[in-house]
Amino acid sequence: MQIEERASGNVMILDLQGKLTIGDGDELLRDKINSVLHRDHRNLLLNLGGVPYIDSAGLGEIVRTYTTVKNAGGSLKLLNLGSGVKDLLVTTKLLTVFESFETEKEAVASFS
């Protein structure tokens, strides 16, 4: 798992690449979110276009991330859900919890 960060206006976009699984991404995501929040970024967009697979630990980390960001007064949204990731979120009924977008432009505009 690799995570690159970039800003678009007042939104911090985290581009995730690789599997989000126990021991391979879950702790990396947690550390990255803590770092971004520590630098006072509160509008976060997780770009999951490069994530082919998420296991239960990875899914739990996304939920924990959502809660952490919300408790810090911020907002977390999802971008570019692949079919496998989207199916997982539908099956677990978590797709109703997260705002998700297909285009970055639409996602960034939603924070306004």
pLDDT tens profile 53-64? 999 999 999 999
Mean pLDDT to the nearest integer, 35-48: 97
8 three-state secondary structure: strand
How far is residue 14 from each of residues 77, 79, 80, 93, measured CA to CA in Å?
A: 11, 10, 12, 23
Domains, the chain, with CATH or none = 2-109 (3.30.750.24)
Band of the pLDDT at 4, cuts 50, 70, 90? very high
Band of the pLDDT at 30, cuts 50, 70, 90? very high
Task: Kindly report the pTM of this predicted structure.
Answer: 0.93
Sheet holding 43-50, edge to edge: 2-8, 11-17, 43-50, 75-79, 100-101
